[in-house]
Amino acid sequence: MGWRDAWRLSRAPFTEVSFQAIYAFRQGNLAPPDPARTLVPRARRRTAQSKALVGFVLGLIALGGGVLLRAGPGASSTLAAYALPPAEYDAGVLTGLLSIDVALLWWTGLQVLPTFLASGALPVLETLPIDETTLRRTASIVYLRLFDVPAVVVLVTTPLFVGLALGPFAGVAAVPGAVTAVAFALALSFVTGRFFVRKIQGSRGGGGRTVVRWAHLLLWLVPAVAVLGFVSAGPVFFTVLSRAASGGPPAILEVFEAAYPFPLAMLPSLASSGAHGLSLDAGERAELAVTSAGYFALAVYASRWLLGSVRSVARLPTAVSEPGPPPRYELRPQTPSLAILTKDLRTASRTPGYAFLILLPILDSVAIGLVTLADAPSHAAAQSLGLAAVVAAALLATFFGPAFFSIEVLAYSYGRALPLSNRSVILGKAALIVMIYLLAGLIVLGITLVRVPAPWVFAGFVAAELPAVVAAALLQLGILFRWAQARGVPVPNLYAGAWSALIVALPGLAVASAPLVVYGWLGFVGMAAVSLGELAVCAPLTLRRRGP
């Protein structure tokens, strides 16, 4: 059997992954009260919509990159302040663009991999009389189909917009960067997925293992937050680049030339002429050629390795944890809302997709905090950056509210048989969102304390925004619960339920943003008033006692 047969065979397992990503029946979700014949087409449609949405975002980012390249270093006063030559500026923008591409594709993989592994879609084929090569190819195609639209968007739009901004040769020179971004993202998704099965999913409970598990997750997730890390660390990056370009220590430029994706991001500048053209001596050219070729070769190797290995992850035995200490028979029951919160944290500690959502705002705060500490030119600027970190944490924590709800899909059919009110579930999940926000705020405050001139202003800002974060969380969760009761659970996972998540996230984001906007005009008093007003409206709406 050839590739054509493998493609044909991949349709059923890919549909199964889409189906489970939407309905999560294997994880205990219930069928929605719709005619059975509509379920599979809807799963296909929603998966396609979600992939289109991720592709659209990636296309938009590429367009943004193209616009920044076209506008040049004078695009804004902030960028102009770095006084970067056009070629270095172009390389900096492209570095950001490729980093974001890798991170977003990787993130997409994180969202769907647990479903891919749990769907059991590929092992079904293993029992059939199909030759090894076809099974390997089929597994690879199913995996590639999870990323097809977003990957194609990166491969097409990156060279296209670079070409439109810097000329056709620069566009062609951007192709290796786009190809490596896709190859690395897909391979990283796969590697981390395998790591997840081996190290995290099967980790025993108790005895401090939760801490070790979170540490594993943290290590695993740090590269995945490259997108925010890069954006947060952008000022530092441009500063270093500027110093290197203006004759700073050559070692810095060499480090940049060696680190991914900078060498590949420099290629379009090398292919450009005029002000955007990069002038390097022979040695530097050779160095750039070697590092670029090295990364490209690594991407080719990663792709080949990936295509040969996907089948193995589908066949991985269920993780078996190591023998542990004698069992504890002690139960420590908590109140229902706390029990929900603890359950969600424990679930997240063994489910990277959820851990990512919890850790992202916190890691982002750490990144901005460190940048503030290292680079902010003045105390006032440090305070502004600190506040920006809190704003980011508030918006991120709120944005992921629907995803926290989707944890409830796991064993939903069992959970609904328990005497658990909506109010308890909503409060438990809102507590998680608030906890993330407060932790992020405290981290920023802790890191920036030496640079922030008036910590009480900072603390006041965190406190004034808090009711709005609570209100946004309650609003989102309330909408999702009504939705779940009327139409079944809407957001099994973000890979397939991106539209649903977005629709619910937007009103939450609006509520969380309103006090931040008001702060600019009316200061703390206005901010706190709006924030409290929102909570006064949203809390009774969501928490009034209704049926279960």
Partner 1 sequence: MAERPADATVPLSIEDLTVDYGERRAVDGLSLALRPGEIYGLLGSNGAGKSSTIRSVVGLVRPRSGRVRVFGLDTSVDALRAKERIGYVPETSLLYEALTPREFLEFIAGVRRLPAAAASERMRAYALAFRLESELEEPIATLSSGTRQKVLIIAAFLHAPHLLVLDEPLNALDPRSVRIVKDLLVRYAASDGRAVLFSTHTMAVAEELCHRIGILDRGVLRAEGTLDELRGRAAHGDATLEEVFLRLTQEDEGLPAAVALLEGS
Looking at the Cβ atoms of 31 and 215, the one nearer to partner 1 is 31
Looking at the Cβ atoms of 45 and 136, the one nearer to partner 1 is 45
Q: Which of 275, 531, 227 is nearest to 392 (CA)?
A: 227
Asked if residue 319 binds partner 1 (CB under 8 A), the reply is yes
Asked if residue 351 binds partner 1 (CB under 8 A), the reply is yes
Q: Which stretch binds partner 1 (CB under 8 A): 60-68, 84-92, 249-257, 317-325?
A: 317-325
State the DSSP string of 451-507. Answer: T-S-HHHHHHHHHHHHHHHHHHHHHHHHHHHHHHHHHS-S-S-TTT-HHHHHHHHHH
Record the tokens describing residue 391, joined without a space.
């704003």
Q: At closest approach, how far in Å is the CB of 115 from partner 1? A: 13
Q: Which of 117, 105, 112, 142 is nearest to 197 (CA)?
A: 117
Asked if residue 31 binds partner 1 (CB under 8 A), the reply is yes
Opening angle at CA 402, ends 397 and 405, nearest 5:
105
Asked if residue 349 binds partner 1 (CB under 8 A), the reply is yes
Q: At closest approach, how far in Å is the CB of 538 from partner 1? A: 23
Looking at the Cβ atoms of 316 and 439, the one nearer to partner 1 is 316
| Residue 111 exposed, middle or buried by CB count within 10 Å (0-12, 13-18, 19+) | buried
Asked if residue 208 binds partner 1 (CB under 8 A), the reply is no
Q: Which stretch binds partner 1 (CB under 8 A): 136-144, 343-351, 392-400, 509-517?
A: 343-351
Asked if residue 134 binds partner 1 (CB under 8 A), the reply is no
Q: At closest approach, how far in Å is the CB of 333 from partner 1? A: 4
Looking at the Cβ atoms of 11 and 482, the one nearer to partner 1 is 482
Q: At closest approach, how far in Å is the CB of 33 from partner 1? A: 7
Asked if residue 316 binds partner 1 (CB under 8 A), the reply is no
Looking at the Cβ atoms of 340 and 535, the one nearer to partner 1 is 340
Asked if residue 321 binds partner 1 (CB under 8 A), the reply is yes
- Binders of partner 1: how many residues, by CB under 8 A? 54
State the DSSP string of 224-274. Answer: GGHHHHHHHTHHHHHHHHHHHHTT--HHHHHHHHHSTTHHHHHHHHHH--G
| Residue 64 exposed, middle or buried by CB count within 10 Å (0-12, 13-18, 19+) | middle
171: three-class secondary structure by DSSP: helix
Under 8 Å between Cβ of 37 and 481: no
Binding residue for partner 1, selected from 129, 419, 456, 544, defined by CB under 8 A: 419
Q: Which stretch binds partner 1 (CB under 8 A): 126-134, 196-204, 216-224, 487-495?
A: 196-204
Looking at the Cβ atoms of 247 and 333, the one nearer to partner 1 is 333
Under 8 Å between Cβ of 29 and 412: yes
Under 8 Å between Cβ of 204 and 285: no
Asked if residue 418 binds partner 1 (CB under 8 A), the reply is yes
Looking at the Cβ atoms of 431 and 503, the one nearer to partner 1 is 431
Q: Which of residues 508-537 bind partner 1 (CB under 8 A)?
A: none
Asked if residue 410 binds partner 1 (CB under 8 A), the reply is yes
Binding residue for partner 1, selected from 7, 11, 34, 168, defined by CB under 8 A: 34
Q: Is the dihedral of CA 380, 386, 392, 398 positive or negative?
A: negative
- Helix axes 336-349 and 422-448, enclosed angle (nearest 10): 60
Binding residue for partner 1, selected from 347, 373, 384, 463, defined by CB under 8 A: 347
Instruction: For residues 516 and 530, give the distance between their C-alpha atoms in angstroms, rounded to a whole number.
Output: 9
Asked if residue 339 binds partner 1 (CB under 8 A), the reply is yes
What are the distances in angstroms from CA 236 to CA 29, 102, 232, 233, 265? 46, 20, 9, 5, 18
x/- letters, 145..184, toward partner 1 (CB under 8 A)? ----------------------------------------
Instruction: For residues 172 and 183, give the distance between their C-alpha atoms in angstroms, rounded to a whole number.
Output: 18
Looking at the Cβ atoms of 174 and 217, the one nearer to partner 1 is 217
Contact set with partner 1 (CB under 8 A) = 27-28, 30-31, 33-36, 201-207, 318-321, 324, 326-336, 338-340, 342-343, 346-347, 349-351, 410-411, 413-414, 416-421, 424, 547-548
